[in-house]
Amino acid sequence: MAVQVLIPTPLQKFTNDEASVSLEAGSVDELLQAMEARFPGILARLCDDGGKLRRFLNVYVNSEDIRFLNHQATSLADGDEVSIVPAVAGG
């Protein structure tokens, strides 16, 4: 199942400056592994040592926050759009 992944600007240096990539994955976890296979080293930027998404990253599947779905086990379907959005803090 091909899904489109929108890559935030700070991570594009790991994706050969691609802002959007198409990958095959059936879940967010599988997508993370597919990203690492295609762009070695990116997984360390996305996940902690335990394999969990870093706290400062928000991931959306078709505009739905995966924290309100099944987290990294969230299923993906052909044509889904996955957005990786770094959290913004400040005041």
> Which phi and psi angles does 24 have, rounded to 5°?
-95, 125
Coil, strand or helix: which one is 49?
A: coil
Question: What pLDDT, on a 0 to 100 scale, did the predictor assign at position 78?
Answer: 97
Give the whole-angstrom CA distance, residue 73 versus residue 87.
21
Instruction: Kindly list the structural domains of the chain, giving each domain's residue range(s) and its CATH number in brackets, ordered by start.
Output: 2-86 (3.10.20.30)
Per-residue pLDDT of the chain (91 residues; tens, 9 = 90+): 799 999 999 999 999 999 999 999 999 999 999 999 999 999 999 999 999 999 999 999 999 999 999 999 999 999 999 999 998 766 6
Question: Beta strands 20-24 and 57-61: pairing type?
Answer: unpaired
Q: Across the beta sheet with 2-6, what order do the strands follow? A: 20-24, 2-6, 81-86, 57-61, 64-65
